[in-house]
Amino acid sequence: MRLQKNGGKAVMPVLKETQPENREILLQASGIKRVFGRGDTAVTALSDIHLAVPRGSVVALKGRSGSGKTTLLNVLSTLDDPTEGSVQFEGREITGLSAKARNELRRRDIGLIFQAYGLVPLMSALENVEFGLRIAGSSKAGREDAEWALERVGMKDRMKHRPPELSGGEQQRVAIARAIVHKPKLLIADEPTAELDSRMGLQVIRLFRELVLSSGMTILLTTHDPGIMELVDHVIALEDGTIVSQTINASPLT
């Protein structure tokens, strides 16, 4: 691996005006607020969130436990509705869509990796990934796509193994294969490196970069790992449910 560090970081107050090459915005959120519960016990998990994710970028959300990262990913991926605000995907409003339209959007255009991998223990790696295709409602025979996805994450030679026979890092890679098997435009990953050592975490981020380059994917992830901030295009920092900084890495380490 060759490390390059020619170009610095700059703190950018307005993300939209500072896009490298003015890249098209894939996902945009404005004025997001999310309040759980009512009255005395209400928790404001997010407020006044404005962000834009350019197509073909890797964006990291960082922040302490409880800062609102998972809540924000849920809102952005249409799994949850914001109390206020709007989310647009490819310029189309996606808040307030019917359950059917959301499912359709997630099946076609969004890949999700949850904080717990969610693999089915009794299925082999290959079957887990094929199952991902079936959940996505794909009518195509899935074997070839599932093998493609497992190849991308370096797990093709272990595809007959079941999750309990795999290490945490290997299971994580199978979960990534399952999330990319339908070739989504946007991959949303909640703490994809949390259970991994730093070398394995680096490999996952490198894999994400390859996916961006080879398949034109856009990736939004959350992380606690400071090492990862150097490797992504944008870092958005959350504190107590609000964005406190947005940073662009002019030349992320590769």
# residues near ligand ATP by CB under 6 A: 12
Contacts of 144 (CB under 8 A, 6+ apart): none
Residue 200, both tokens:
């394995």
**Residues whose CB is less than 8 angstroms from the CB of residue 250 and which lie 6 or more positions away in sequence, other chains included:** 7, 8, 9, 10, 20
Residue 69 vs 152, nearer CB to Mg ion: 69
CA–CA distances in Å: residue 178 to residues 8, 40, 111, 115, 182: 35, 41, 8, 14, 8
Task: Return the residue of 28, 47, 57, 67 that touches ligand ATP, per CB under 6 A.
Answer: 67
| E strand spans, 76-211 | 84-89, 92-93, 110-113, 186-189
Site string for Mg ion, 62-91 (x = CB under 5 A): -------xx---------------------
For ligand ATP, the binding residues in 18-37 under the rule CB under 6 A are 36-37
For ligand ATP, which stretch binds (CB under 6 A), given 47-55, 62-70, 143-151, 153-161? 62-70
Binding mask 40-59 for ligand ATP (x = CB under 6 A): ---x-x--------------
* Interface with ligand ATP, residue 69, by CB under 6 A: yes
Among residues 32, 27, 33, 3, the alpha carbon closest in space to that of 15 is found at 27
Residue nearer to Mg ion on the CB measure, 25 or 70: 70
Closer by beta carbon to ligand ATP, 43 or else 213: 43
**Distance between start and end Cα atoms, the chain:** 8
Residue 128 as a binder of Mg ion (CB under 5 A): the answer is: no
Alpha-carbon span 213 to 211, nearest angstrom: 5
Between 68 and 201, name the residue whose CB sits nearer to ligand ATP.
68
Binding site for ligand ATP (CB under 6 A): 36-37, 43, 45, 63, 65-71
